[in-house]
Amino acid sequence: DSGVTQTPKHLITATGQRVTLRCSPRSGDLSVYWYQQSLDQGLQFLIQYYNGEERAKGNILERFSAQQFPDLHSELNLSSLELGDSALYFCASSPRTSGSGELFFGEGSRLTVL
Task: Summarize as ranges the residues that interact with another protein (CB under 8 A).
Answer: 2, 4, 31, 33, 35, 37, 42-43, 45, 48, 50, 55-56, 58, 88, 90, 92, 97-99, 101-108, 110
Name the residue among 114, 47, 55 with its Cα closest to residue 75. 47
Question: Which residues, 6+ apart, have CB-to-CB distance to 40 below 8 Å?
Answer: none
d(CA 86, CA 6): 17
Looking at beta carbons only, is 28 or 101 nearer to another protein?
Answer: 101
d(CA 62, CA 46): 11
Least spacing, CB of residue 20 vs another protein, in Å: 19
Least spacing, CB of residue 48 vs another protein, in Å: 5
Looking at beta carbons only, is 9 or 63 nearer to another protein?
Answer: 9
Looking at beta carbons only, is 20 or 45 nearer to another protein?
Answer: 45
d(CA 4, CA 25): 5
Looking at beta carbons only, is 15 or 59 nearer to another protein?
Answer: 59
Least spacing, CB of residue 79 vs another protein, in Å: 24
Instruction: Report phi then psi at 83, rounded to 5.
Output: -55, -35
